[in-house]
Structure 1
Amino acid sequence: MPAERLLPTPEAEDLLALVTEIARDELKPRASADEEAENFPRDLFTLIGKSGLLGLPYAERWGGAELPYEVYLQALEEIASAWMTVGVGLSVHTMSCYALAHYGTDEQRDRWLPDMLGGELLGAYALSETQAGSDAAALSTRARLAGDEYLVNGTKAWITHAGVADFYTTMVRTGEGSHGVSCLLVDSSTTGLSAAPRERKMGLTGSPTAQLIFDDTAVPAGRLIGEEGAGLRIALSSLSSGRLGIAACAVGLAQAALDEAVEYAKGRTQFGRPIIEFQGLEFLLADMAATVESARATYLDAARRRDRGLDFQRQSSIAKLIATDGAMKVTTDAVQVLGGAGYTRDFPVERYMREAKVPQIFEGTNQIQRMLIARSLKGA
């Protein structure tokens, strides 16, 4: 792990020490076996919640820690470095709470947010559909107001935690066009809501991903977050912060791969000396380290802008792009450092490489991030 971190307060340093302990003692020892068995570690999210880590960036009034985003992201990175499934799950849960925390009424927040931040409830974020991934405004899941309920029909796709979450922050169509999308907080026990079988994925196999099916699902009107038609604005705002979470997770994964590669290179001897002493490998490891630290600096810069109330959308896209592309490169290079051993499941780097692919895709593909960055440069 990084030798040191530049944290803003002693309290933040104590928090990260706690996160490091949990990651080392509770997460890392289970990661490989549970990923191979495709076990979702729900108990660890309860533990993380009881430890006060599910609500780090949210207000103390509702059980959060009200810490700067830069502190939350560094804690998230530490968790992801031990187990990517848990890191991504924490990032998704944090994003799932965003709509309620920022757009809900005080009455709604008082009712639901404490259990969300305390570990009693696990969240999922339901925006994507088969024909509405990168084009979020094209979503077709429809909600029709009938008395004091919304009747929801449609299918969401690629939903992390589908089938295991307790609530789904769901974007639905209540009108036409980009101003016809609304946000509903849907309880998992709602009649007419079900999850399809889990997708069979190349990585993050401990994290369930599935379609979410709404069949005349009756959602109380009191679970509308914000006003009707504000859903797309809420969704895009959530994603700007969520992308920073994915960037931090990607950096944690890359750091874990670098650490594994360095330790292997120190212990592996060829031609009478450790392979880390050969210049070709030294340069490869140096490039890996530069990639990790550059990506970390990029997401921290975006987070500090967010903490200061500055616009950070372009920086969020840049951080997500740089960190996830970097993780793909670093994990691939880690497999190369370990050689044949890196291609086996006896070492975790092959899993890291498989896990590094999907961060380049979710929360907006990296091609979409490039479009967003270019659009901001044009002033569009």
Structure 2
Amino acid sequence: MDYGLNEIQIHFRDLAKNYAETNVKPVFDELDKARAYSRDLVNGAAKAGLYGAFVPENFGGKTHSPMCVALVVEELAKVCGGTAMSFLANLQGAIPILMGGSDSQKSNFIPKLNSGEAIFSLAVYEKEINDLSLVKTNFEADGDGFVLNGVKTLVIGEADFYTVLATNSEGEKSFFVIAKDVDGVSFSENIHMLGLNTATTREMTLNNVKVSADSKLGGKDGKTMSEIILMASRLFMSSICVGVAEDAHHLAIGFIQTRNQFGNPVSEKQAVQFMLADNMSKIESSRAMIYATARAIQNGKKGVTDSAMTKLLAGEACMLTTTDAVQLFGGYGYMRDYPVEKHFRDAKTAQILYGTTQTLKDFIGKVESRKEI
């Protein structure tokens, strides 16, 4: 389908496609098997210019465009969902800085993201807490700085700086930029996930972590910033879903065109063709919603509900398509030597992160049921 991409959007799409094919494809399988995070790939993405899709020109980038970011993430995910997640995790860690940091904080950190000098990650989630307004990680004033205590989970990647959401005794929510090697910061071993294994996931413990006053981000309050982060995470996770789904779909087509059953090509069976029709229709519908939502956000629309609907549709499309791809590969589909098995694992993980199907339906349903018609 023709989505009317402009010159800069085509530039970033093609740039990401070339980087994924040239740099990610030769190594992603071994990284997935080893559940290994690759700083080289994350830094390489910066050197290739991919973070320019997110970083404004005044900080060394090309354009601050949700649409360009969506295109980059989708192309990376076609080769490796985990690598796309590593790229996204870096952006997630920088969103609070770009949106809520002072001029000095932005000037200090954002160029480092763009150049690959530093990697960022987001530390907001906690065990048994789905609502970010209920976080328990605590910060309190201490002299001319702050002290933080708490445990964060689902911290993705191996960053140099972490943007940590915390609350104080008065209920104020704020973000802090904390270096990985500050006293009192420690990390668990890598949590073994079902999929997206090249984006390692750990717990982060803050034990009486003392930080300076300029580590605290001002600007928007923590609650508003959390909503923006969740909106962006759902939108760009949808792009991962579409990228994973489309590659699984194409792999399945290539396989069934060479596979015979009872003397006839599998690709000629109507039941199989119906599967392909359903899957491609859902992939394109999801892509259309991603691009529409990205453009709406670019134009200043609050996209909280739109991003939730997009994630719901894309997550289900990805899960259906990868499940069908495994089935169409027959006995080969669930073997580690065939890439649809990895796509299937990545699909389920992507469907769960940043809102399960049920969570998204609950949120969207409440919004719809309270509309004034």
Fold match (TM-score > 0.5):
yes
d(CA) in 2 for partners of 1:175, 1:218: 17
Q: Which residue of 2 aligns with 1:188?
A: 180
Q: In the alignment, is residue 324 of structure 1 matched against residue 315 of structure 2?
A: yes
Q: Which residue of 1 aligns with 2:296?
A: 305
CA contact (8 A) 2:140 2:148 kept: yes
Q: The residue matched to 1:353 in structure 2 has which SS? A: helix
Note the alpha carbon deviations across 1:252-285, whole angstroms, 9 max, x for none.
0101110110110111122333211111111111
Q: Which residue of 1 aligns with 2:169?
A: 175
Query: Residues 126-145 of structure 1 correspond to what in structure 2 (within 5 A)?
Result: 126-132=123-129, 134-145=130-141
User: Which sections of structure 2, spanning at least 5 residues, go unmatched?
Assistant: none
CA contact (8 A) 2:125 2:132 kept: yes
Q: Which residue of 2 aligns with 1:81?
A: 78
Q: Which residue of 1 aligns with 2:36?
A: 39
Query: Residues 48-59 of structure 1 correspond to what in structure 2 (within 5 A)?
Result: 48-59=45-56
Q: Which residue of 2 aligns with 1:29?
A: 26
Q: Which residue of 1 aligns with 2:121?
A: 124
In structure 2, the CA distance between the partners of 1:61 and 1:253, relative to structure 1 (3 Å rule), is: same
Note the alpha carbon deviations across 1:195-214, whole angstroms, 9 max, x for none.
01111222222221111000
Q: In the alignment, is residue 207 of structure 1 matched against residue 203 of structure 2?
A: no
Q: Which residue of 2 aligns with 1:368?
A: 359
Q: Which residue of 2 aligns with 1:256?
A: 247
Match of 1:182, as an amino acid? S
CA contact (8 A) 1:7 1:13 kept: no
CA contact (8 A) 2:125 2:135 kept: yes
Q: Which residue of 2 aligns with 1:218?
A: 210
Q: The residue matched to 2:210 in structure 1 has which SS? A: strand
Q: The residue matched to 2:139 in structure 1 has which SS? A: strand
Q: Which residue of 1 aligns with 2:66?
A: 69
d(CA) in 1 for partners of 2:207, 2:69: 37
Q: Which residue of 2 aligns with 1:158?
A: 154
CA contact (8 A) 2:12 2:53 kept: no
Q: In the alignment, is residue 339 of structure 1 matched against residue 333 of structure 2?
A: no
Q: Which residue of 2 aligns with 1:239?
A: 230
Q: TM-score, normalised by structure 1?
A: 0.93
Match of 2:167, as an amino acid? R
Match of 1:166, as an amino acid? D
Q: In the alignment, is residue 149 of structure 1 matched against residue 145 of structure 2?
A: yes
In structure 2, the CA distance between the partners of 1:55 and 1:193, relative to structure 1 (3 Å rule), is: farther
1:379 CA drift (Å) = 4.3
Note the alpha carbon deviations across 1:63-107, whole angstroms, 9 max, x for none.
222153222201210001111111111122112111111111111
1:367 CA drift (Å) = 2.3
1:308 CA drift (Å) = 1.3
CA contact (8 A) 2:12 2:71 kept: no
d(CA) in 1 for partners of 2:248, 2:5: 27
d(CA) in 2 for partners of 1:67, 1:139: 29
Q: TM-score, normalised by structure 2?
A: 0.95
d(CA) in 2 for partners of 1:67, 1:110: 15
Match of 1:300, as an amino acid? Y
1:13 CA drift (Å) = 1.9
CA contact (8 A) 2:152 2:203 kept: yes
d(CA) in 2 for partners of 1:11, 1:198: 37
1:170 CA drift (Å) = 0.6
Q: The residue matched to 2:194 in structure 1 has which SS? A: coil
d(CA) in 1 for partners of 2:232, 2:35: 28
Q: Which residue of 2 aligns with 1:276?
A: 267
1:248 CA drift (Å) = 0.4
CA contact (8 A) 1:342 1:349 kept: yes
d(CA) in 1 for partners of 2:263, 2:296: 50
CA contact (8 A) 1:131 1:138 kept: no
d(CA) in 2 for partners of 1:222, 1:129: 24
More displaced 10-residue stretch of structure 1: 83-92 or 63-72? 63-72
Percent identical residues:
28
Within the candidate set 86, 90, 94, 2:87 is matched to: 90
| RMSD (Å), alpha carbons | 1.7
CA contact (8 A) 2:140 2:169 kept: no
More displaced 10-residue stretch of structure 1: 348-357 or 53-62? 53-62
Q: The residue matched to 2:61 in structure 1 has which SS? A: coil
Q: The residue matched to 1:343 in structure 2 has which SS? A: coil
Q: The residue matched to 2:338 in structure 1 has which SS? A: coil
d(CA) in 1 for partners of 2:349, 2:218: 31
Q: The residue matched to 1:267 in structure 2 has which SS? A: coil
Q: Which residue of 2 aligns with 1:197?
A: 189
CA contact (8 A) 1:261 1:334 kept: yes
